[in-house]
């Protein structure tokens, strides 16, 4: 075991490529999201009046999976993989320059990913879908995705195999968890039979191996855990690396990270059942989903507290380092979101919240506040080191931070009010026990909140464009960094 990491020149070629797709799909995914928000406020934004029969390509139903897939798998996974190709060399004390095999795998990984993204966009626009949430892509693309995952796995285990650092750093635990859990869940939920086996019809059509209640069960066992192992465990991997690096301080507690990790891994899958409360799955399963969702607060908060306490003695950096500020906000939103989720999983609350916009609000405070802020902070940390240039402007980060934070607050407050209003109106009865409202009056009541949500989403998108501008300017015209600084990110004076 040698520990001469200082002499290693890291290879960032693949990390840079994934950074580009992260930016591109961030823009596409969020732009579509803003359009969807305004479609719900004003249905004229479906543009059917103008486009007529071609309106199918921009109708809400078609665009919605483009938004979710674009954000989860286009934007988020790109961010995770950019970070993987950056972090893994550093915590394993290797350089991909030393191993052409790993470098080649990285390129294969990237280009296969780009191919899949392109196919995904085309097929979703065309309405080719197996129609299960967050796993819409048709079976031929699913097979490519399995190959893609195997390629990433080969890269991961190859890199771990040749490591100089004997012990696996915390971030790697979470990367391995993402790899294993998604592989298991994705394949299980995707077991399909292409109907072309009958010799007739479209080659792209398939039927699920599971029917009805079982299909619902498998779907939400997966669906919740796309959140768990893409939006959570992989993002924790990022923050466990970038928070201490950026702060110049060690992780607060190794033990806390250990307990949080193993308990999160054990508890998370149970919680999938909370999507099925009051459905036709057995009652004990619904209760399990509910109880374990509440238990989930412990590992989630353990992790977040570990992040925040890493800053002990470093809190003054909040005023000087906007990246630290973003990471703190992300951690706080993680705590907030992992408290909100369990509350929604309590049966009586779920009876009110399920099927309403409160759920949409919950997803978005997690995704906008925790996931996207973490990825942007990670990018701000990586860019100066990957390109050897200072960040273009600290002031822009600050402006972006406040615009986006305002956007998130508008988003979740409006969706809370909308969801709870809707839930209460659905169940409201008059003195004789008759339903008080027609369904359409519950829709009309939400109009103002949909407008506020659209504005909030648009603000967040504007902030993201500022982020993109700042990254591009940093890459092209930031001041050169002579030597990589140990802790804080190099930021230009302007």
Partner 1 sequence: MFHWLEKHPFFFAVFLFLTIAFAGLVEIIPGFAQASRPIVGLEPYTILQLAGKNVYLKENCNACHSQLIRPFKSETDRYGHFSLSGEFAYDRPFTWGSKRTGPDLARVGNYRTTDWHEGHMKDPQGVVNGSIMPPYPWLFNKIADIDTAYAEALTVKLVFNTPYSPDQLPDNDLASAKRIALTEARAIVDNMKDPAVKAAYERGEVSEIVALIAYLNSRQ
Is the Cβ of residue 183 or residue 339 nearer to partner 1 in the bound state?
Answer: 183
Residue owning tokens 């007739």: 200
DSSP 3-state assignment of 4?
A: coil
Q: Which of residues 51-90 bind partner 1 (CB under 8 A)?
A: 52-56, 59-62, 64-65
Tell me, what DSSP letter sits at residue 80?
H
Identified binder of partner 1 from the candidate list 90, 245, 275, 385, rule CB under 8 A:
275
| Count of residues in the chain | 494
Stretch that binds partner 1, among 17-25, 76-84, 208-216, 297-305 (CB under 8 A): 208-216
Is the Cβ of residue 194 or residue 388 nearer to partner 1 in the bound state?
Answer: 194
How far apart are CB 446 and partner 1 at their closest, in Å?
9
Contact predicate 411/364, CB 8 Å: yes
By CB under 8 A, the count of residues binding partner 1 is 98
Is 188 an interacting residue with respect to partner 1 (CB under 8 A)?
yes
DSSP 3-state assignment of 248?
A: coil
Is 351 an interacting residue with respect to partner 1 (CB under 8 A)?
yes
Is 216 an interacting residue with respect to partner 1 (CB under 8 A)?
yes
Q: Cα–Cα distance between 350 and 333 in angstroms, integer?
A: 21
For the chain, give the longest Cα–Cα distance: 80
Q: Cα–Cα distance between 459 and 404 in angstroms, integer?
A: 6
Is the Cβ of residue 59 or residue 343 nearer to partner 1 in the bound state?
Answer: 59
Identified binder of partner 1 from the candidate list 180, 256, 298, 475, rule CB under 8 A:
180
How far apart are CB 357 and partner 1 at their closest, in Å?
8
Stretch that binds partner 1, among 8-16, 106-114, 276-284, 328-336 (CB under 8 A): 276-284
* CA distances (Å), origin 160, targets 57, 94, 233: 44, 9, 19
H-helix or E-strand spanning residue 423: helix 394-427
Is 3 an interacting residue with respect to partner 1 (CB under 8 A)?
no
Q: Which of residues 244-273 bind partner 1 (CB under 8 A)?
A: 258, 262, 265-270, 272-273
Site string for partner 1, 421-460 (x = CB under 8 A): -----xxxx---xxx---xxx-xx----------------
Identified binder of partner 1 from the candidate list 114, 285, 332, 420, rule CB under 8 A:
285
Is the Cβ of residue 117 or residue 352 nearer to partner 1 in the bound state?
Answer: 352
Is 417 an interacting residue with respect to partner 1 (CB under 8 A)?
no
By CB neighbour count within 10 A (0-12 exposed, 13-18 middle, 19+ buried), where does 97 fall?
middle
Exposed e or buried b per residue across 362-375, where buried means at least 16 C-beta atoms within 10 angstroms of its C-beta:
bbbbbbbbbbbbbb
Identified binder of partner 1 from the candidate list 181, 230, 234, 328, rule CB under 8 A:
181
The HSE-up count of residue 305 (CA atoms within 13 Å, CB side) is 13
How far apart are CB 83 and partner 1 at their closest, in Å?
19
How far apart are CB 273 and partner 1 at their closest, in Å?
6
Q: CA 120 from chain center: how many Å?
A: 18
Is 133 an interacting residue with respect to partner 1 (CB under 8 A)?
yes
Site string for partner 1, 304-343 (x = CB under 8 A): ----------------------------------------
Stretch that binds partner 1, among 35-43, 238-246, 370-378, 389-397 (CB under 8 A): 35-43
Identified binder of partner 1 from the candidate list 253, 279, 287, 413, rule CB under 8 A:
279
Residue 232, both tokens:
């959570």
Q: CA 236 from chain center: how many Å?
A: 11
Contact predicate 329/401, CB 8 Å: yes
Is 288 an interacting residue with respect to partner 1 (CB under 8 A)?
yes
Q: Which of residues 152-171 bind partner 1 (CB under 8 A)?
A: 157, 160, 166-168
Contact predicate 252/310, CB 8 Å: yes
Residue owning tokens 């809707």: 422
Residue 310, both tokens:
């890493």
Contact predicate 430/436, CB 8 Å: yes
Identified binder of partner 1 from the candidate list 1, 100, 199, 431, rule CB under 8 A:
199
Is 407 an interacting residue with respect to partner 1 (CB under 8 A)?
no
Is 395 an interacting residue with respect to partner 1 (CB under 8 A)?
no
Question: CB-based contacts of 338: which residues, under 8 Å, 6+ apart?
Answer: 296, 297, 300, 301, 304
How far apart are CB 359 and partner 1 at their closest, in Å?
7
Identified binder of partner 1 from the candidate list 2, 3, 198, 319, rule CB under 8 A:
198
Stretch that binds partner 1, among 41-49, 316-324, 369-377, 470-478 (CB under 8 A): 41-49
Residue 403, both tokens:
């615009």
Q: Cα–Cα distance between 79 and 221 in angstroms, integer?
A: 24
Identify the CA nearest to 393 among candidates 307, 316, 468.
468
């Amino acid at each position: 075991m040698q520990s001469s990491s200082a002499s290693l020149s890291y290879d960032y070629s693949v990390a840079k490529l994934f950074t580009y797709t992260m930016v591109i799909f961030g823009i596409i995914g969020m732009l579509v999201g803003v359009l969807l928000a305004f479609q719900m406020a004003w249905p004229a934004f479906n543009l059917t009046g103008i486009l007529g029969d071609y309106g199918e390509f921009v109708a809400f139903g078609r665009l919605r999976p483009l938004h979710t897939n674009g954000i989860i798998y286009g934007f988020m996974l790109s961010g995770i993989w950019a970070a993987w190709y950056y972090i893994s060399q550093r915590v394993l004390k290797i350089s991909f320059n030393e191993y052409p095999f790993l470098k080649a795998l990285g390129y294969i990984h990237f280009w296969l990913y780009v191919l899949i993204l392109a196919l995904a966009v085309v097929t979703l626009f065309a309405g080719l879908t197996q129609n299960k949430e967050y796993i819409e892509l048709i079976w031929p693309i699913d097979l490519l995705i399995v190959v893609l995952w195997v390629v990433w796995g080969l890269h991961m285990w190859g890199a771990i195999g040749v490591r100089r650092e004997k012990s696996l750093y915390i971030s790697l635990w979470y990367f391995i968890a993402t790899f294993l859990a998604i592989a298991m869940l994705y394949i299980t939920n995707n077991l399909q039979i292409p109907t072309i086996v009958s010799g007739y019809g479209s080659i792209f059509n398939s039927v699920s191996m599971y029917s009805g209640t079982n299909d619902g069960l498998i779907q939400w066992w997966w669906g919740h855990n796309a959140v768990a192992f893409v939006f959570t465990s992989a993002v924790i991997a990022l923050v466990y690396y970038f928070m201490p690096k950026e702060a110049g301080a060690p992780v607060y507690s190794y033990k806390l990270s250990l307990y949080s990790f193993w308990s999160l891994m054990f508890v998370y899958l149970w919680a999938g059942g909370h999507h099925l409360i009051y459905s036709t799955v057995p009652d004990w399963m619904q209760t399990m989903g509910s109880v374990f969702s509440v238990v989930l607060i412990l590992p989630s908060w353990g992790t977040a507290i570990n992040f925040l306490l890493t800053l002990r003695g470093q809190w003054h950096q909040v005023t000087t380092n906007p990246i630290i500020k973003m990471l703190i906000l992300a951690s706080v939103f993680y705590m907030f979101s992992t408290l909100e989720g369990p509350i929604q999983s309590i049966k009586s609350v779920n009876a009110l919240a399920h099927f309403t916009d409160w759920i949409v609000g919950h997803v978005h405070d997690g995704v906008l506040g925790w996931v996207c802020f973490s990825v942007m902070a990670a990018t701000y940390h990586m860019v100066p080191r990957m390109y050897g240039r200072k960040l273009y402007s600290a002031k822009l980060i600050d402006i972006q931070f406040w615009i986006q934070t305002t956007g998130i607050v508008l988003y979740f407050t409006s969706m809370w009010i909308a969801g709870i209003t809707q839930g209460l109106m659905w169940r409201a009865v008059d003195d004789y026990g008759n339903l008080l409202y027609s369904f359409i009056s519950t829709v009309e009541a939400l109009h103002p909140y949909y407008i506020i949500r659209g504005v909030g989403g648009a603000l967040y998108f504007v902030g993201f464009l500022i982020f993109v501008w700042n990254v591009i300017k940093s890459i092209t015209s930031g001041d050169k960094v002579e030597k990589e600084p140990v802790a804080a990110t190099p930021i230009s004076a302007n």
